Every structure is written in structure tokens, then in C-alpha cells.
Chain A
Amino acid sequence: MNKSDTSSVSHNRSHRFRVIRDQMFFTTFVAAVIVGILGLASLLIDVLIDGLPFIDWPFLSSYASRKPLESGILAPLAGTVWVVAMTALLTIPIGVGTAIYLEEFAAKNRINRMIELNIANLAGVPSVIYGLLGLAVFVQFLFNGSRNVTAGALTMTLLILPIVVIASQEAIKAVPSSYRDAGYAMGANKWQVVKAIVLPQALPGMMSGIILALSRAIGESAPILIISSLVWVTFVPTTPDSKFTVLPLQIFTWVSQPQHEFRGIAAAGIIVLLLVLLSMNAAAIWIRSKYQVRPDQ
């Protein structure tokens, strides 16, 4: 009797302890989420407060200057458009081609498994290493020391290629094999099936993957920093062998200035950069939701 009494008391106490512990850790877990969201919010608010006063038409339409108040982002904006356009032209055919090869044409042998493993590893290589590759291969070897837009776009292509390949592979994998079988049953060969059935079905998934990869290229600074070095570019690139700068690089240049006034300009540049990225991500989400028809549903 006595024995069972104490055990029931201790059971109650331990039960209360367990419930309190449960509550405490619930609070901790919620706190983790809240800290993450607060971090994001304070980052955005910090940037908006610092940068908004500097955003006006002259800021968007003039070149960088030694004087903060006269500085603008026309050159890096144009440079970003150049780099992204050229990167897209190079990355889309190569990336989608690689994905089609790996998913549809390649035999499941050791060589092709090695290619897939290699692509996964490339996705984890730090971007600064791609910068070194681009500096040695494109700038010094291919263009004889010219730090031009093409070298930047080629480097960015290699950097985002693994992302595009992996996203395109996922999109191709999502096409049900029964669709392919239907094509083969009609007497189509492999390429005809890919061209007429697999690609149209996989296109929306590929598109959103490609857009996300390109937005990665827009935000990336380290490789471009190494490729183009630090230059005050005060012109819009007109040819693929022009010198150039890009948005994140210009922001970095401004952040590194000792004068505090440049911080506001840097924040204004960040706002423009984030707006560009936001609209690209919105486009990716829109494409995915609009065109992605889930088969068999």
C-alpha cells in the first residue's frame, strides 16, 4: 500500500516534469523558427531603411561615381543583363542536353554513374574555385588577359550547370514512363519520343529550375570578383568583349568604401538586386503552378 503510494506520487511528479519539459522544448522549437524569421525580417528592414532614400530615377540611370550622392547603377544593371542573357544562352542547351542524355539515352553503366556523381560533386564546389578556373582558363588562356563579359558568362555557365542539369533530370524523371511507352508503341524512335513527348511534358519543371539557377547566377559575386577584378566601370557593355561589372560586385565595391555615405548607396543597390531576384522567383513559381499538370491525378 505504502509502496504503491510513493510510486504514484513520484509518477505524478515525473509526469509533471515531463509535461513541463515538453512545454519548454516546444517553446525552444518555436523560438528557432521565430529567430530565423526575425533574422530575415531585420535584414530586409535594415536594407530598406538604409537604401530607400537613395532610390530614384537618377540612381537607376547614372553611372558609379566617386561621390555617393551622384552614384548610380546603370553600368552594373546592364552588366548583369549581359551576363545573365549570355549565361542562359549557353546553359540551357548544355544543361538540358546533359539531362536528356543521362535520363533517356545513357546506358546505366559505370561511366554514366560517374558523370552523375561528378555533377553532384560540382554542385558542391565553392564558387570562388569556379572564379579561379575562369581566371586561368577563360581570361588568361582564351582571351589573353581580357576581363570581358564572355569570360564572366562562361564561368557562370559552368557554375550553374550542375543546378540546371539536376533540376532538368528531376523534371524528366517526373514524366511517367507510360507516356513514353505510348510513343514507342506508335513506332517512334527514342529521339522522337523525347522531342514530342518527354520534353513538352518536362518543360515547366525545367523552366522553373533554370530560372532559379539563373537567379543564383545574378546573386553570385565571388567568381565575377575574380574574373573582372575591381573596376569602376562607367559604361554599358556594348559587345561580348567589353569590360563589365555586375550588381552584387558594385554593391561589394560600395560596401568596401571607407566613407559611410556609400553604405546607403550599397543598400539601394541591394534593394534593386533583391527586386530582380524576387521577380525571377515569382516567375518560376508562376510557371510551375500554371503549367505543371500532375499526370495521373
Chain B
Amino acid sequence: MATAVKVGKMQAQLDAVARRRKRQHREQTIVSWTLRAAAAISIFTTVGIVIILVAQSIGFFAEVSVWDFLTGTEWAPLFSPQKFGVLSLVGGTLLVAVIAGVVSLTLGLGAAIFLSEYAPERLRRILKPILEVLAGIPTVVYGYFALTFVTPILQNIFGHDQVIVFNALSAGLVMGLMIMPMVSTLSEDAMVAVPRSLRDAAYALGATRFEVSTKVVIPAALSGIVASFILAVSRAIGETMIVKIAAGATPNLTLNPLESIQAMTAYIVQVSLGETPQGSLEYKTIFAVGLLLFVMTLAMNIVGRWVISRFRQVYE
């Protein structure tokens, strides 16, 4: 009799455990699907971007041939006769990006070599965060800085008649300063990863620090340095506010950095600020330019990451 009661109690306990297990399992299933839905949002974002850009661009390319768009050198969608040669916008973007790339590579690589090969640990820990502050400053502030500080200096150097108030050089220089910490941080990470023993071997042969840096460390860290540079230039191509504020609104295919230009991003912003009616050809141009911009930066980012993974030296 007593045994039967005991067995019954145990059975009840087992049932309770099983019920709790079941409830917990159900809870986990619900949570798992909720989390999956959250992860799916990133996919929807990409799909959304591609669909929006492509759909609007299809409308644009129904009226303007892709060939004229990609090879024309005059951009005047708001005047008649309308011209849709995107090369003058691409040229403006690339002119600024090349200047920014040169500045950021020079400063960023120099700083990375100093921080990783020369600076004592203590100094490194002070300097690195200071340089990284540069990456956290909003781009509209850089735009202000370019227009009100750098441009007047350039005008004093090259002459006011040579330098237009809105010019590619000022925007490029300031953008180079902005992306410098990207180059220096990523390059330095790559250089720090080069094992001590390689340096010691070179020092033992009597190499100077410069020789160790340029003949041992930089070659070993080259993939990281190249990737940091590609990613930084991609960032420069997609940057909006500096070029909008400081580089001008004149589509202009030129190599003279003292002239006024218009970057792709600046054009997109300019049109969306205006009273361009939705659905008009002018309105669709910003999506066509946006699609080109998206493809350019995506390609550079993919190449940058590919360089990192493909050429990464793995040291024991």
C-alpha cells in the first residue's frame, strides 16, 4: 500500500519534470524563431537596398541609355538639353578620394610604423586613442573645418584667383585626415601581428630600425596595409557631407584639384534637398547614381576583405 503511494508520488514528480521540460523546450523554440527573425532583418535590408536602387534605375535607363550614362562626360540633368554623363560625377568623387587616399596612406602608414616599431608601449597607449578620436568626429564637422579653415589657407598659398571657395583639394585633404586612423589602426594591427622573431633576426644581422620596418615588417604585413587602404578609400568614396559642404556643386571632369567639382554623394543630396517631383527623370537619377556608388563601394569592400583573408600570413 505504502509502496503504491510512493510510486504514485514519484510518477507525479516525473510528470511535473516532463511538463516543465516541455514548457522550456517550447520557450526555447519561440525564442529561437524570434532571434532568427531579427537576423533576417539584415537580409531584408540588403534586398531592400538592391530592389529600390535597381527598380528606380530601370525606370531611368528606359529613357537614358546605359552607355551614354557610363561614358558621357557632361552631367546636367536639371538643365535642358539634359545631359546624363555620370563620368563627371565619378571623376569628382575619384579626385577627392585619390587626394584623401594619398594623405591617409602617407599619414596613416607613417603613424602605424611609428606606433608599432618605434614608440614605447606607454606612448603608444596615449597616441593611439588620440588619433582614433579623428574617426569619431562627425563628417559635418570636417566639412565645416574644410570650408572655414583649410580653404582659406589654400587660398593664401595658391592665390585667391587660383583657388575657388569650393574646391576638391580642401575636401580631399580633410577627408584624408578623417580616414587616417582607419589606415593607421588596421595597418598597425597587421604590423603588430608580425612575430618578434622576424624582427630580431634582422636586428641580429645589423639592420637599422628603418630597414627592419621597410624590409621585414611592411612586406610581412602588406596584405593588412593594402586592405586598410582599400577600405579607407571606399569610405572616402561614400562620404557625403565633406564633399557637399566644401567641394562644390559643379559637375566637372578635371584633374585640377583647385577647381570646384561635384561628387556623386553630393549630387544625390543636392537633388533630394530640392523640389524635384517624385517619379520624374531627375528624381530617378539619384537612384541610378546611388546604384553606381553602391556597386563601387561594395566591390572595394569585397576586394579589401578578400585581400585580408587571402594573403594573411599565419605565424605560429
Q: How far is the CB of A59 from chain B (nearest CB, A)?
A: 17
Give every chain B residue within 8 A of A161 (Cβ-Cβ): 41-42, 45
A-side interface size class: 35 or more
Instruction: Verify if B201 is at the interface (C-beta below 8 Å from A).
Output: no
For A119, the chain B residues whose CB sits under 8 A away are 42
Is A137 located at the chain interface by the 8 A CB criterion? yes
Cα distance A126–B240 in the bound complex, in angstroms: 8
Is B110 within 8 A of A121, CB to CB?
no
Contacts of A122 in B (CB 8 A): 42, 45-46
- Once bound together, how far apart are the Cα atoms of A29 and B124, in whole Å? 13
B247 interface residue (CB < 8 Å to A):
no
**Residues of B contacting A30 with CB < 8 Å?**
114, 118
A102 at the interface (CB under 8 A from B): yes
In this complex, what residue of A is CB-closest to B128?
A33
Q: Which of B130, B210, B297 has the most CB of A within 10 A?
A: B210
| B42 engages A22 (CB within 8 Å) | no
List chain B residues, Cβ under 8 A from A222. Answer: 139, 240-241, 244, 265, 269
B107 touches A126 (CB 8 A): no
A39 and B238 CA atoms in complex are apart in Å by 22
User: How far, in whole Å, are A177 and B143 apart by their CA atoms in the complex?
Assistant: 46
Given contacts A226-B269, A229-B272, contact A32 B106 (CB under 8 A): yes
Contact B293 A129 (CB under 8 A): yes
Q: Complex formed: what's the CA distance from A117 to B143 in Å?
A: 32
B137 contacts A129, CB within 8 Å?
no
Cβ-defined contact, B32 with A105, below 8 A: yes
Instruction: Encode contact with A along B230-257: 1 for CB under 8 Å, 0 otherwise.
Output: 0100110111110011000000000000
CB of A179 within 8 Å of the partner chain = no
Q: Does B161 contact A (CB under 8 A)?
A: no
Expressed in whole angstroms, the Cα–Cα distance for A101 and B41 within the complex equals 12
A189 contacts B39, CB within 8 Å? no
Q: How far is the CA of A120 from the CA of B45 in the complex (A)?
A: 13
- Decide: B273 and A128 in contact? CB cutoff 8 A: no
| B204 CB → nearest A CB, Å | 16
B268 adjacent to chain A (CB < 8 Å):
yes
Given A226-B272, A229-B273, A127 and B28 contact (CB-CB distance below 8 Å):
no
A162-B42 in contact (CB<8A): yes
Q: A33-B127, A124-B234 are in contact. Are A133 and B35 (CB under 8 A)?
A: no
Distance of A132 Cα from B57 Cα, bound (Å): 12
Size band of the interface chain B makes with A: 35 or more
Nearest residue in A to B38 (C-beta to C-beta)?
A97
Given contacts A126-B238, A126-B297, whether A273 and B141 have CB atoms under 8 Å apart is: yes
Hey, which chain B residues are within 8 Å of A255, CB to CB? 140, 143-144, 147, 245
In whole angstroms, what is the CA distance A243 to B283 when docked? 22
B136 neighbours in A (Cβ, 8 Å): 215, 219, 277, 281
Set of chain A residues within 8 Å of B181, measured between Cβ atoms: 36
Question: Which of A43-51, A234-242, A286-294 makes up part of the contact surface?
Answer: A43-51
Chain A residues with Cβ below 8 Å from B133 are 40
CA A8 to CA B42, docked complex, whole Å: 67
Pick the contact of B38: A18, A19, A94 (CB < 8 A): A94
Chain B residues lying within 8 Å of A279, measured Cβ to Cβ, are: none
A14-64 contacts to B, CB under 8 A, are 18-19, 21-22, 25-26, 28-33, 35-37, 39-40, 42-43, 46-47, 50
A190: chain B residues at CB < 8 Å are 28, 32
* Residue A267, interface by CB 8 Å: yes
Residues of A near B100 (CB, < 8 A) are none
B240 contacts A189, CB within 8 Å?
A: no
A196 at interface by CB-CB < 8 Å: no
A102 / chain B contacts, CB cutoff of 8 Å: 39
Which residue from chain A places its CB closest to the CB of B41 in the assembled complex? A94
Partner of A132, one of B53, B131, B144, B302: B53
The smallest C-beta distance from A204 to any residue of chain B, in angstroms, reads 19
The reply to whether B107 and A219 contact each other, CB–CB distance below 8 Å, is no
- A263-283 residues with Cβ-Cβ distance < 8 A to B are 263, 266-267, 270, 273-274, 277, 281
> Is B15 part of the binding interface, using a Cβ–Cβ cutoff of 8 Å?
no
Q: Can you list 19 A-B pairs with a CB-CB distance of less than 8 A?
A: A18-B210, A25-B213, A28-B110, A32-B107, A33-B131, A40-B131, A40-B177, A43-B141, A46-B148, A102-B39, A115-B42, A126-B294, A132-B290, A133-B45, A161-B45, A225-B272, A251-B141, A273-B138, A274-B141
B interface residues (Cβ-Cβ under 8 A, vs A):
24-25, 27-28, 31-32, 34-39, 41-43, 45-46, 48-49, 52-53, 56, 106-111, 113-115, 118, 127, 130-131, 133-134, 136-145, 147-149, 177, 180-181, 184, 208-211, 213, 231, 234-235, 237-241, 244-245, 265, 268-269, 272-273, 278, 286-287, 290, 293-294, 297-298, 301-302, 305
Q: Nearest 9 CB-CB pairs, A to B? A: A126-B238, A32-B110, A219-B138, A97-B38, A101-B35, A222-B240, A29-B114, A124-B301, A22-B208
Q: Which residues from chain A sit less than 8 Å from chain B, CB to CB?
A: 18-19, 21-22, 25-26, 28-33, 35-37, 39-40, 42-43, 46-47, 50, 93-95, 97-98, 100-102, 105-106, 112, 115, 118-122, 124-133, 135-137, 140, 158, 161-162, 165, 189-192, 215, 218-222, 225-226, 229-230, 248, 251-252, 255-256, 263, 266-267, 270, 273-274, 277, 281
| Contacts A126-B294, A190-B28 known; 19 new A-B pairs at CB < 8 A | A35-B107, A40-B131, A43-B141, A94-B41, A98-B42, A118-B46, A119-B42, A124-B234, A124-B238, A125-B238, A126-B297, A127-B238, A128-B238, A128-B269, A132-B287, A133-B49, A140-B278, A191-B27, A255-B144
